[in-house]
Structure 1
Amino acid sequence: MASTPVAPPRRHFVTLGMFIIDMFSFLDAQGAPTGKTLPPQIGGGGTYANIGARIWLAPDRLGMIVDRGHDFPEDVQRKLDSFGTEMWMYRDDPSRGTTRALNEYKGEYRGFRYLTPRVRLTPRDLIDTPLEQPATIHFICSPARAQAIVSEIKESSGWSPTTIFEPIPDRCVPEELPALREVLASISILSPNADEALSLLSTPGEPTKATIEEAARRFVDMGVGPDGKGAVIIRSGAMGAYILTRERGGRWVPAFWRPEDAAKIVDVTGAGNSFLGGLSAGLLLANGDVYEATLYATISPSFIIEQEGLPTLTRNIGDDGAIIELWNGDTPQRRLEDLRARIK
């Protein structure tokens, strides 16, 4: 008798963020070339979020759609596949180029603009694919677009995922606050960074722990999540992350790299995205405890910021024959133990 094929497990984490190839331009404050150059690099908030989850989970537990144009570089393909081919769902379109964007640095100012049309993703893109109806879904967009995404989720029978909403930076302005209020009841976890949170709430000045805590309280009071039982996590760079829920109150989790470790920090691009991928993985590994999950979230960007671009994954064989994954030569488990020891 033929055996019945076993269906693969439902994905735990899927991001609707995009894959982008980043290009770079470096000018001084007067607009003259600095002479610094960087080759094109793998980018996109979705990519970094997916890697943040991959640091903790096997590649068949997560995923994102990568729109692959006719100009998709072979070295990019090899780098992505080095993390596990199952975590990328490629869609090929030979009629268009891969999404590219230019990061323009002029003195201290950083600009960002797309060089090709964007291909935005929605939950409908996941239908009839291995990524359909994951347990957790992450999206980076405006509040209005978040409302459209949530509406599509509600159209899907039997699917009630944990929703992680990362507001897109250029829409974190006071004018967007009414739209944010409308969608918050459908958001499990709201996570702007500190500057974005204060901007949305028209709070002046540089972020401090006091203003960040007040911002989180105001968002929670607006009613995050069904019955107000969601969480707000404000990612605050070197200060760490502040998490607040109505039931359990607030808690600070420090950044993994401390001020004395400044030499370890090379490029913070993608740190916040990877934090949220790590958060999703932490929700699985910590049985849904969002406070505990934030510890896992904090470790993911510690690997992302150690170099320009994505970290390096290698594999060793342990004494028991098990495969040990090393990220930049270290394990996330060791860093998690280090972080736990610091906050006891």
Structure 2
Amino acid sequence: MANAPHFVTLGMFIIDEFSFTDQDGKPTGKTLPSQACTSSKPIGGGGTYAAIGARIWLPSHKVGMIVDRGNDFPQDIQDKLLSYGADMWHFRNRADRGTTRALNSYRGDSRGFQYLTPRIRLTPRDLHGTRFAWPKALHLICSPTRALEIISEVDEIHGWQPTMIFEPIPDRCVPEELPSLVKALPFISVLSPNAEEALSLLTISTPATVESVEAAAVRFLDIGVGSLGQGCVIIRSGALGAYVATKANGGRWVDAFWTPHDSGKIIDVTGAGNSFLGGLAAGLLLAGGDFYEAAIYAAVSASFVIEQSGLPALSIRPETGREEWNHDLPHRRVNASRQRHFDKIRNKNH
């Protein structure tokens, strides 16, 4: 469809709740910073962060996400979402139930996640009858087994061959899911687990190292990502950056924009990986399909998300009319990232 958005996510919208305890399960008294919340609860969901990651680069009518709005949906959460552009959201009223909620529990350094309400999973069929039908790029957050079901639905729609960006959910990145992943990969354009998830799927020992991440990417490429092996594997590896690999052009590391050495810049990494992939989808459009260049846009999207708890702030500079995110220009960061990359190559050659 000519008016279809470039990027649509099948990830869910979630209202998050949090608990913080020490290793013995005693409450620490920690709370989220106020900017993470609109009402008493933060906005969450991998789909939400992915949509924002794409929105940093694209106008709102080029981005799409379905939001299931329960009977307890706070007005200020809706106002926050609308501040990014009303046309990027399709609200479905669910008067018979509450909005999907989940608990993020932190016990010492360990993080747990559980749904507090039944999930409403999205499928390609849910896009029918909305402005979001037939997007050019489709973002999946699910298990490999469920990805096969989504691929089957996409295949039913004659003439639609979206760029499928697959982000496997953490708790299903287990060796038992590898057979399903093998079946799904030929239909996937971009496979992007994080380092721990990639190693777990392939039964490679942790912790992740540069060598083990690169080896995992080669394994996934050998399985066959994308039709005729034209896909891409991107393993998101935290402070190491992201390893971007294709059969045709090999592998390359793309640095994270903020590193642990950037004091005070990294506040909360929640949603960083999701926003990275939304930024990647936008970057593929802006960079003419170059996966490596698109990953720079992706890393910048993630940089805006980790600067605070919750979603980044969008504003318009009055004197220029240009959009700014957290009072900065995304393209300035892309240019800075490119320069950093060139400086690294020059220093290496000298």
Structure 2 length normalisation: TM-score? Answer: 0.94
Q: Quote the residue 2:339 is aligned against.
A: 341
Corresponding position: 1:21 with 2:21: no
Which AA in structure 2 matches 1:301? A
Residue 205 of structure 1: CA displacement?
2.1
From 320, 323, 337, the equivalent of 2:321 is 323
One-letter code aligned to 1:229: Q
Equivalent position SS for 1:102? strand
Aligned to 1:4: none
Q: State the partner residue of 1:3.
A: none
Shift of 1:8: 6.5
* Residues 248-289 of structure 1: per-residue CA shift (max 9 Å, x gap): 111100010133204110000000000000000001101111
Task: Specify the code of the residue in structure 1 equivalent to 2:324.
Answer: L
> In 1, Cα distance between the equivalents of 2:206 and 2:290?
33
Question: What is the aligned-residue identity percentage?
Answer: 62
Q: Which residue matches 2:151?
A: 150
The answer to whether the aligner puts 1:269 opposite 2:263 as a matched pair is: no
Q: CA deviation at 1:20?
A: 0.1
Corresponding residue for 1:301? 302
Quote the residue 2:195 is aligned against. Answer: 194
Q: Which residue is 2:260 aligned to?
A: 259
Tell me the amino acid that sits aligned with residue 240 of structure 1: G
* Matches for 1:163-182 after TM superposition, within 5 Å: 163-182=164-183
| Partner-residue secondary structure (3-state), 1:56 | coil
Aligned to 2:347: none
Structure 2 residue runs without a partner (length 5+): 33-39, 343-350
**Aligned residues, how many?**
335
Matched, 1:51 2:62: no
Residue 213 of structure 1, CA deviation = 0.4
Find the aligned partners of 1:328 and 1:173 in 2 and give their Cα distance: 37
Correspondence for 2:185: 184
Q: Structure 2: which amino acid aligns with 1:324?
A: R
How far residue 36 of structure 1 moved from its aligned partner, in angstroms, is: 1.7
Distance 2:142 2:28 in 1: 33
Could you tell me how far 1:43 is from its partner in structure 2? 0.2
The equivalent of 2:84 in structure 1 is 83
- 5+ long unaligned stretches in structure 1: 1-6
Secondary structure at 1:64 match in 2? strand
RMSD over aligned CA atoms reads 1.0
- Matched residues in 2 for 1:331 and 1:211: separation? 35
Give 1:33 shift. 1.3
Note if contact 2:266-2:308 (Cα within 8 Å) is conserved in structure 1.
yes
Aligned equivalents of 1:31, 1:119: Cα separation in 2: 31
Amino acid in the other structure paired with 1:14: V
Aligned residue in 1 for 2:37: none
1:35 equivalent in structure 2: 29
**Aligned mates of 1:317, 1:28 — CA distance in 2:** 46
> Contact conserved, 2:260 with 2:266, CA < 8 A, in 1?
no
Q: What residue is the counterpart of 1:124 in the other structure?
A: 125
- Give the Cα separation in 2 of the matches to 1:180 and 1:260: 36
SS at match of 1:86: helix
Secondary structure at the aligned position of 1:259 is classed as coil
| TM alignment of 1:194-213, pairs within 5 A | 194-213=195-214
Aligned mates of 2:334, 2:233 — CA distance in 1 = 22
The 2-side partners of 1:258 and 1:115 are apart by 34
Task: Tell me the distance in 1 between the aligned counterparts of 2:104 and 2:121.
Answer: 19
Task: Output one character per residue of 1:80-129: Cα deviation in whole Å (capped at 9) or x when no partner.
Answer: 01100111100001110000001111111211111110000000000111
Deviation of 1:149 after TM superposition, in Å, equals 0.3
Larger displacement relative to structure 2 (30-39 or 69-78)? 30-39
TM-score under structure 1 length normalisation = 0.96
Check whether the contact 2:14–2:43 (CA below 8 A) recurs between aligned residues.
yes
Shift of 1:317: 3.0
Counterpart AA for 2:336: D
CA–CA separation in structure 2 for the residues paired with 1:290 and 1:205: 27
Secondary structure of 1:252's aligned partner? strand
Secondary structure of 1:31's aligned partner:
coil
* Partner residue in 1 for 2:65: 64
Counterpart amino acid of residue 71 in structure 1: D
What is the rounded CA distance, in whole Å, between the counterparts of 1:212 and 1:8 in structure 2?
39
- Secondary structure of the residue aligned to 1:9 is coil
Alpha-carbon separation, structure 1, partners of 2:178 and 2:158: 30
Q: For residues 177-228 of structure 1, give each alpha carbon's deviation from its aligned partner in whole angstroms, at most 9, with x where no partner exists.
A: 1110011000000000000000001011210111000000000000110011
> 2-side partners of 1:57 and 1:72: how far apart?
27
Aligned to 1:229: 230
Partner amino acid, structure 2, of 1:312: A
In 2, the alpha carbon distance for the partners of 1:109 and 1:232 equals 27
